[in-house]
Amino acid sequence: MAEQRRDPRGVRGVREGAQDVPESRGRGVRAEEADAWEALVATARRTVSDGLVVGTSGNVSVRVGDTVLVTPSGVPYDRLAPDDVTGVDLDGRQVLGGLVPTSELPMHLAVYRSTDARAVVHTHAVHATAVSTLVPELPAIHYMTVALGGPVRVAPYATYGTDELAENMLHALADRSGCLLQNHGTLTYGATLDQAYDRTAQLEWMCRLWLTASAVPGLSPTLLSEAQLAEVGERLRGYGQRG
Exposed/middle/buried for residue 65 (C-beta within 10 Å: 0-12, 13-18, 19+): exposed
- Which of 16, 32, 33, 104 is labelled catalytic? 104
Beta strand 59-64 with 67-70: parallel, antiparallel or unpaired?
antiparallel
> What whole-number distance in Å separates Cα of residue 112 and Cα of residue 117?
6
Q: Is 149 left (phi over 0), alpha (psi -120 to 50) or beta?
A: left
Helix, coil or strand: residue 168: helix
Q: What is the rounded CA–CA span in Å between residue 134 and residue 138?
A: 9
Which segments within 97-217 are labelled E, that is strand? Answer: 119-123, 154-155, 178-181, 185-190
Is 33 catalytic? The answer is no
* Cross-sheet strand order for the sheet of 154-155: 94-96, 87-89, 67-70, 59-64, 119-123, 185-190, 178-181, 154-155
Contact 223, 142 (CB under 8 A): no
Q: Rounded CA gap, 158 and 172, in Å?
A: 13
**Residue numbers annotated as active site:** 104
